[in-house]
Structure 1
Amino acid sequence: MNNSTQPTPDTIDTNCQENVDKNRALYIFYSSVVVLEFILGLLLNITVIHLFIFKLKFWKSKTIDIFLFNLVLADILLLIGLPVKAYNFQQCSEEKVVCKVQLFLQFINRGASIAFLTVISIYRYFSVVHPGKRKVLRILKLSPQISVFIWVLLGILTIPAMLQSFIRCNSSEKDELTTIVLLREIVFFTQIFIPFFVLVYCSIRIIKRLKQKSVGDKTKLWRAMFLVTSVVLVFAVCFLPYAFTRVVQLKISGLVMKEEKVTVVKLFDGLLCLSYLNCLLDPILYCLSSSKFKKLYISMYLPFLLEKEQPESSEDTADD
């Protein structure tokens, strides 16, 4: 297909269906992974958000609880679109309205998930490394206002990308490079790479500060260091390979063999499935890592594990 021509739903559906038919077993596997992520992620996130609303009353709680609530909410809204993605992997449905809704959910809620993850890391950074900077901490404690600002900003950045006459749901075709497409890709890469560097910087500084502050309590130190490091590793595993593959996909030209294009598309779709794993791991890393929240969660949903739980200190340096 000539890249100078805007793809139509019919041609995209044909090329997508041809790709899926040739790799039926692989795309059934991708679809199964997405369905599994949807089921497990939705169950975990819904139970966590239930505790935030009815037990912790997050709006009356600490600043970080409001950010955590919005992080979990973003993950739930992202998970809602996964059944459509799973169906897409098998049937290549390109119904225009469904396509745009699914992409809107994917763009805005993945962006919100990453944004709140980043804000939480920045808040912890100033709380641990620079507790004396009261002006910055007072700003960060305006968590309701900051949360609203993040959602509005992401909505503004996402809506223009949905205004194209047609926007693809599958990875098998390349969009014509227009201003809208360029804006969409800039937003995509900005919301992955900049937060990653922020996370790495904040994590390194937090770990250094915790080592200086911790005297004798090695268990608490290692637990806090493990949490901070795990956040960076999960982000790197879920999003960086996906983003780098997207770079390769965008650079593919007409000189590249069709088989090589198909290989990149298959890899991109697989890494896209991996990126959804973030929705499953966020509640574990950010909510269940807190001793207080973990005990509340187990008492509510897994009471049979209570006898096995050992008493832990209620203080959690990395989580406050």
Structure 2
Amino acid sequence: LKIELLEQNSKDNICNATYQVLSYVMIGEFALGLPLNLSVLYIFVFRFKFWKNKSIFLFNIVVADFLLVACLPVKIHHYQHNLRRSEDGVVCKTMLFMLFLNRGVSIAFLIILSLDRYFNVVHLGRRNCVKVLKKSPQISVVIWLLLLPLTVPTMVKTFECCNSHGRQNETKYHDVTDTFREVVFFSQIIIPFFILVYCTVCIVNRLRKKTVGEKTKLRRAVWVVMSVVVVFSICFLPCAIARAVLLGLRLQELEKAEEVAVQVYDSLMVLSYTDCLLDPLVYCFCNSGFKDAYISSFCPTFLQKKLITSESGMGATTTTSGVRTLTLPIIEK
């Protein structure tokens, strides 16, 4: 009995240490993310005037990132007290709802931006339906509303770390709810990831085959389309893999391995919150007008001219095919 108690105390200490460390990681994310996202919101609203620059989709990503940052203090409080989630059911479900909704919104609009870039480069000259949607603010509202039903399963019933599959005494109703939630979770990551990879490969191949201009411009254009994939791979893909492993261990009832997998999963979820720090890089890559407005507002005077001048000329990449010359709108101004 004493040996069992010692082992349990050792596990609890390791677990508590893990969540203490994660709480400090989130403190860092909050300390960096709050001023960064507030400054980005300021630029989009007061300097860049997103509604005039057809950047409504980018603005929606900004809003989702800001709401995510606003949720972090609650998570920090729980982790500081060695709690994986709030003991209050309402707070727990509200937090899960907000985190799932903001993640879904970020992914949705990142995919739309990638599709817009895909049509602009790969199918140049054809009608771009995404560009038409960018002019309508109502479309953004519809996307938010469509994502709400996909987030509701997180609030249907109390569940253990958003993951109650494999628990005893589950009714058929609860099992269906859990299954639906997991399908939504993985489909929101796996399907967009394949779309991103496909769009990126097609765009890079198009640029490599057609571009005969400066290598520097080509390299910058490739970075534009790769930035979204990098953000997605760092923030969302690892936690999806960890969740799949956790589900597998839980269904096999491997309790010791599951305890470790839960901590790994929570750690990678904390990593996914860096999305609010990496997304501003996407804003800069996707829209040089936003970059110029941000630099002129927050960078020292002696750096402004150098930074803006060094990035000029990225608005288009010239391609040549036979006697026909095309200009690919790689970056919107």
Q: TM-score, normalised by structure 2?
A: 0.82
Aligned to 1:26: 18
SS in 2 for 1:81: helix
Distance 1:84 1:137, change over 3 A: closer
| Matching of residue 46 in structure 1 with residue 38 in structure 2 | yes
Aligned to 2:298: 301
Q: Give 1:241 shift.
A: 1.5
Aligned to 1:194: 191
Whole-Å separation in 1 of the counterparts to 2:304 and 2:95? 40
> Percent identity of the aligned residues?
47
Whole-Å separation in 1 of the counterparts to 2:228 and 2:198? 12
| Matching of residue 70 in structure 1 with residue 60 in structure 2 | yes
Gaps spanning 5+ residues in structure 1: where?
1-16
| Matching of residue 98 in structure 1 with residue 95 in structure 2 | no
Which amino acid is the alignment partner of residue 106 of structure 1?
L
Q: Give 1:174 shift.
A: 6.3
Match among 147, 150, 175 for residue 157 of structure 1: 150
| Matching of residue 148 in structure 1 with residue 141 in structure 2 | yes
Whole-Å separation in 2 of the counterparts to 1:180 and 1:170? 11
Which amino acid is the alignment partner of residue 315 of structure 1?
G
Whole-Å separation in 1 of the counterparts to 2:251 and 2:104? 31
Q: Which moved more, 1:71-80 or 1:187-196?
A: 71-80
Q: Which moved more, 1:246-255 or 1:34-43?
A: 246-255
Whole-Å separation in 2 of the counterparts to 1:109 and 1:154? 9
| Matching of residue 133 in structure 1 with residue 126 in structure 2 | yes
Asked whether the 8 Å contact 2:189–2:236 carries over to 1, the reply is yes
Aligned to 1:313: 313
Asked whether the 8 Å contact 2:20–2:80 carries over to 1, the reply is yes
Whole-Å separation in 1 of the counterparts to 2:268 and 2:251? 24
Whole-Å separation in 2 of the counterparts to 1:157 and 1:310? 42
Q: Give 1:170 shift.
A: 7.3
Whole-Å separation in 2 of the counterparts to 1:302 and 1:174? 53
Q: Give 1:303 shift.
A: 2.4
Q: Which moved more, 1:109-118 or 1:146-155?
A: 146-155
SS in 1 for 2:270: helix
Whole-Å separation in 2 of the counterparts to 1:135 and 1:306? 34
SS in 1 for 2:313: coil
Whole-Å separation in 2 of the counterparts to 1:57 and 1:272? 33
Compute the RMSD of aligned alpha carbons: 2.5
Q: List per-residue Cα deviations over 1:56-90 (Å, max 9, x = no partner).
A: 2111222xx11100011111112211111122223
Q: Give 1:208 shift.
A: 1.7
Asked whether the 8 Å contact 2:235–2:271 carries over to 1, the reply is yes
Whole-Å separation in 1 of the counterparts to 2:200 and 2:251? 42
Task: Give runs of aligned pairs for residues 211-226 of structure 1, distance below 5 A.
Answer: 211-226=208-223
Gaps spanning 5+ residues in structure 2: where?
1-8, 317-328
Instruction: Name which structure has the greater RCO, CA cutoff 8 Å, separation 6+.
Output: 1
Bigger Cα Rg: 2
Whole-Å separation in 2 of the counterparts to 1:100 and 1:18? 30
Distance 1:272 1:178, change over 3 A: same
Q: TM-score, normalised by structure 1?
A: 0.85
Q: Which moved more, 1:120-129 or 1:172-181?
A: 172-181
Task: Give runs of aligned pairs for residues 200-215 of structure 1, distance below 5 A.
Answer: 200-215=197-212
SS in 2 for 1:145: helix
| Matching of residue 269 in structure 1 with residue 266 in structure 2 | yes
Q: List per-residue Cα deviations over 1:142-162 (Å, max 9, x = no partner).
A: 442321121001112212431
Task: Give runs of aligned pairs for residues 160-179 of structure 1, distance below 5 A.
Answer: 160-164=153-157, 166-169=158-161, 176=170, 177-179=174-176
Aligned to 1:260: 257
Asked whether the 8 Å contact 2:246–2:262 carries over to 1, the reply is yes
Aligned to 1:9: none
Match among 248, 272, 282 for residue 285 of structure 1: 282
Asked whether the 8 Å contact 1:88–1:170 carries over to 2, the reply is no
SS in 2 for 1:215: coil
Distance 1:297 1:139, change over 3 A: closer
Whole-Å separation in 1 of the counterparts to 2:165 and 2:134? 44
Q: Give 1:215 shift.
A: 1.9
